[in-house]
Structure 1
Amino acid sequence: MTLPGPQRIVCLTEETTEWLYLLGQEQRIVGISGYTVRPRRARAEKPKVSAFLNAKIDKILALQPDCVFGFSDLQADIAAALIRAGVPVTVFNQRSVEQIFDMLFQVAAMVGCADQGLARIAAMRERLAAIRAEADALTAAGKRRPRVFFEEWDEPHISGIRWVSELLGMAGGDDVFPELAVQPLGKDRIIADGAQIVARAPDIVIGSWCGKKFRPENVAARPGWAAVPAVRDSQLFEIKSADILQPGPAALTDGVAQLHHIVQAWRLAHG
């Protein structure tokens, strides 16, 4: 039996692709982003029709999609071109953990999998609650929460987006730039002077440089950073951008699990 909803979907970012595969609805996907790495088999099975800021409009139209999923204002021009060509487009703009859950439910409902979607969302919420409980237990035991600098990019420095900051808090760490986390655009989270980071003395630095390998040795060699606790104590870590900077299932599962492991290890050793 064919479930209701769109049958020929193009996903311009990875999170909706991953979610449809998790729901067992991958047969609906006819095109994906070239940046897709989750699930790995999607790259072999589906045509790649877009980057992030641009897309092959002619190739997308040739696939005759009855729905296109996009993400954020950064894909507004792609969405506009497709809408003018008569294609139904849904662009999500999730920036927080709750907004990610909202997006997941909406997509599940659109493909007739609302109940399965709710069950999977409940399981993710349960895991997040368990992580928060473990963090709270360490706090109750007198273990200090580490100060954490999450770096999305190195030149210029860009601090972590809201959902990362929220997941970090659940895992037991404190974002050293919480005032920037609420800014939805990367350009508004730029820290022009690295001395500002040094002044906040992060205990842990986590790098997730989208499309570029994190180099802890380069971080440690930054002028004036030798006395930063994270550098002094070799607490410099990488979380792959595909695991934490995609606002979908990855961040709520593998991404937060890695944050939890890093923060919990620090608290047990240093708290």
Structure 2
Amino acid sequence: MKLPGPQRIVCLTEETTEWLYLLGQEARIVGISGYTVRPRRAREEKPKVSAFLSAKIDKILALEPDCVLGFSDLQADIAAALIRAGVQVTVFNQRSVDGIFSVLYQVAAMVGCVEQGQQRIKAMQAQLDAIAQAATAQDAAGLRRPRVFFEEWDEPHISAIRWVSELLTLAGGQDVFAELALQPLGKDRIIADGAEIVRRVPDMVIGSWCGKKFRAEKVAARAGWADLPAVRNGQLFEIKSADILQPGPAALTDGVAQLHRLINQWRIQYG
């Protein structure tokens, strides 16, 4: 019997690919983003048809998709080209933790996996609740929360997107640029004056440079940074962008777990 929902899906970003694999619906996927690393076997099994800002439209059309899934306003031009070619396109624009959960539910419903999707969502929510409770217990014990600068890009400096800021706070930290996290676009989270980062005196710097390797030694050598607590105490860390900057299962599991581990270690040692 034919399964409900789309049968030939192209995923222009990694999070929907990972989610469909977790739901056991990978057979529906006919094309993926070239940046996909989760799950690893998707790279071996599925044609790579897009980057993030560009896509091979002819190759996508040749796959005869009945649904293309994308993410963010940055993929609007790709979506428009496919829509003009008669393809059904759904572009999500989630920016918060709640938004991520909403998208996961919607995708599960599209492929007829509401019950399984809800079970997995509840498991992820339970993990977040446990991390939040652990952080609150440290608050009650009088341990200070570290001031954290999460750097999404280095030149220019771009601070954490909203879901990262929310997960950082949930894990027991303080986002030193929490006000910028409310801005949905990367260009609105640019910190033009690097001295402003110094003025906010971060205890930790966590970098995730959108697929480029984080260079702790380069960060430590920045002008005026030598006396920052984060640099002085060697609290410069990387979380891979695939684990934290994809608005899907990775950020809500591995990404937040890494944030919690790093912040928990700081609180025990310095809090």
TM-score by length of 2: 0.99
The letter for the 1-side match of 2:205 is V
Cα distance between partner residues in 2 of 1:254 and 1:74: 25
- Residue 45 of structure 1 corresponds to 45
User: Residues 244 and 250 of structure 2 are in contact (CA less than 8 Å); yes or no, is this contact kept in structure 1?
Assistant: yes
- Residue 98 of structure 2 corresponds to 98
- Residue 238 of structure 1 corresponds to 238
Question: Does the alignment pair 1:249 with 2:232?
Answer: no
The letter for the 1-side match of 2:110 is M
Cα distance between partner residues in 1 of 2:217 and 2:9: 42
Q: Gapped runs of 5+ residues in structure 1?
A: none
The letter for the 2-side match of 1:172 is G
TM-score by length of 1: 0.99
Task: Kindly provide the CA deviation profile for residues 132-161 of structure 1, in whole angstroms up to 9, marking residues without a partner as x.
Answer: 000000000000000000000111100000
Deviation, structure 1 residue 210? 1.0
Task: Kindly provide the CA deviation profile for residues 77-118 of structure 1, in whole angstroms up to 9, marking residues without a partner as x.
Answer: 110111111110000000000000000000000000000000
Cα distance between partner residues in 1 of 2:149 and 2:194: 12
Task: Kindly provide the CA deviation profile for residues 209-236 of structure 1, in whole angstroms up to 9, marking residues without a partner as x.
Answer: 1121100000100000011110010000
The letter for the 2-side match of 1:58 is D
- Residue 34 of structure 1 corresponds to 34
Runs of 4+ in 1 over 4 A off after TM superposition: none
Q: 1:208-219 counterparts in 2 under 5 A? A: 208-219=208-219
Cα distance between partner residues in 2 of 1:41 and 1:98: 28
Task: Kindly provide the CA deviation profile for residues 11-30 of structure 1, in whole angstroms up to 9, marking residues without a partner as x.
Answer: 00000000000000000000
User: Residues 211 and 242 of structure 2 are in contact (CA less than 8 Å); yes or no, is this contact kept in structure 1?
Assistant: no
Pick which of 97-106 and 2-11 moved more.
2-11
Q: Percent identity?
A: 80
